[in-house]
Amino acid sequence: MALFSGEVDDAVRAAISMLKRLRIYNSHRKRVGYSALDINRFRNHA
């Protein structure tokens, strides 16, 4: 979990960046025979 003191858009940009970087990282992992990693997203329902 992360807290952002700026705009909501900062958090959205960070999440998009993380997903893009994970896609690149996973392509390298697959090339050497490792399985892909995933970012789990959970929502807490109160």
Residue at token pair 């690149």: 24
Contact 2, 11 (CB under 8 A): yes
In whole angstroms, give the CA distance from residue 18 to residue 39: 9
In whole angstroms, give the CA distance from residue 13 to residue 9: 6
Least confident of 7-11, 34-38, 42-46: 42-46
pLDDT band at 14 (very low <50, low <70, confident <90, very high): confident
Per-residue pLDDT at 23 exceeds 60: yes
Q: pLDDT per residue over 25-41, tens digit each?
A: 999 999 999 999 988 76
Instruction: Give the per-residue pLDDT at 10.
Output: 86
Contact 29, 38 (CB under 8 A): no
State pTM to two decimals.
0.70
In whole angstroms, give the CA distance from residue 34 to residue 17: 22
